[in-house]
Amino acid sequence: MRDSESCRIKHTEEKTELTEEKKEEDEELREEEEKHHVKTEQKALKKIRDKKSYTCPQCGESLTNKQSLQIHMRVHAGEKLFTCNQCGKPFLWASALKSHLRVHSKEKPYSCPICGNSFSLLNNLKAHQKIHTGVRDHMCFECEKTFITSSHLKRHQRIHTGEKPYKCSHCDKRFIHSESRKGHERIHTGERPYMCNQCGSSFKLKAQLKVHMGVHTGEKPFTCDQCGKSFAQSAKLKRHMNVHTGEKLHECNQCGKTFLWDSGLRSHLNAHLKEKPHSCSLCGKRFSHLQNLKHHEKLHKDVREYMCFECEKTFVTSTELKQHERIHTGEKPYKCSQCDKRFSLSETLKRHEKIHTGEKPYTCDQCGKTFRHKYHLKVHIRVHTGEKPYHCTACEKSFA
């Protein structure tokens, strides 16, 4: 009995000791939790303070750390620390330089699983894939037109806002797109960075080089559905369509002559003014049209960049090449409006049609005699001047 009472007392004492020990452990655990909670709160407050302390003073943007703020400030300072060792182009960030280097290496690691097209940048691949899926999740609230990317939408919205954020560094002209500004600035600098690897001709814009390459490849993807004639550029097809409609909206206020195109009327007006504002720097010869001066200057330099693939004959202009190619193809696109006769050159058609109209627009100012063709008047005038420009190499006799 005594032993039983003794055991019970001993057990009660041990239980009391355990309860007190547990209380001490719980108290220690609570203290640790409180300390941890305080530390967590302090860290959160520190983050808030840090966030507030890394705010851009120029635009108010908040950055997560000091380094991010330093990098961001380069945008405002225009500081570009990373330079391409291939072409010298500078970049704000190392990641941008890394992406740019793929232009030189021609590396395109990102491939479309649907069509196989490859891209140097992942973002370009993602934008491309939306073409296949038809996803156009960026919409203009002004006109409800949809776009594949947010950058395309932003560019489009400037049409409505009239915003032109890109200013030429040489003059006051402003542009909606940075690409348009770059192209314009090359007028001031004379830079022509896009070079043809076939003939060495250089261009201000990539699109101009692309069009030019059609001269070498012979590719003409734009075809007239009326006559089947093909063109290298869509703009030239549009101009050509006026030939079929016969619509001549541009009339000369001096003589009433009408033209298919505004450029044709402008060129014609110089005939009335007898104005020749464009002068050759090598021989002084003057021209009404800048295009004629450029053509003339190529004669001095002997630049013949257009070649016929049939006979390899070379020409100064693409127009001369097209006219020559009709010898091989037998094409005669110019039909007389009075009879069924056809011609390979528009000039030949004009001369022929004067037979039907009886028109003789060229008059000799010495005797009043009239001629259908300018060349015939030129030869006739030698009767009055006595000029005999053609000499026999054997006997030195001269002829008109």
pLDDT in tens, 239-271: 777 666 666 667 777 777 777 667 777 777 776
Contacts of residue 209, defined as CB under 8 A and 6 or more positions apart, other chains included, come to 194, 195, 196, 203
Say if 226 falls within a structural domain. no
pLDDT of 42:
58
Q: Is the pLDDT of residue 311 over 80?
A: yes
Say if 123 falls within a structural domain. yes
Nearest-angstrom CA–CA distance, 264 and 44: 74
Say if 264 falls within a structural domain. no
The residue behind tokens 């076939």 is 198
Q: What is the mean pLDDT of residues 136-163?
A: 84
Contacts of residue 65, defined as CB under 8 A and 6 or more positions apart, other chains included, come to 50, 54
Say if 110 falls within a structural domain. yes
Say if 279 falls within a structural domain. no
Indicate the Cα dihedral angle 24, 30, 31, 33, nearest 10°.
Answer: 150
Q: Which of 1-10, 166-175, 210-219, 281-290 has the lowest mean pLDDT?
A: 1-10
Say if 195 falls within a structural domain. no
CATH of the domain at 320: 3.30.160.60
Q: Which of 23-27, 39-43, 186-190, 352-356 has the lowest mean pLDDT?
A: 39-43
What's the domain count of the chain? 2
Q: What is the pTM of this model?
A: 0.37
Identify the sign of the CA torsion 173, 177, 180, 182.
positive
Q: Whole domain around residue 377: which residue ranges?
A: 299-399
* Domain boundary residue, one of 92, 127, 142: 142
Q: Is the pLDDT of residue 389 over 80?
A: yes
Could you tell me if 322 and 218 are in contact, meaning their C-beta atoms sit under 8 angstroms apart?
Answer: no
Say if 352 falls within a structural domain. yes
* Domain boundary residue, one of 97, 113, 142: 142
Q: What is the mean pLDDT of residues 129-139?
A: 81
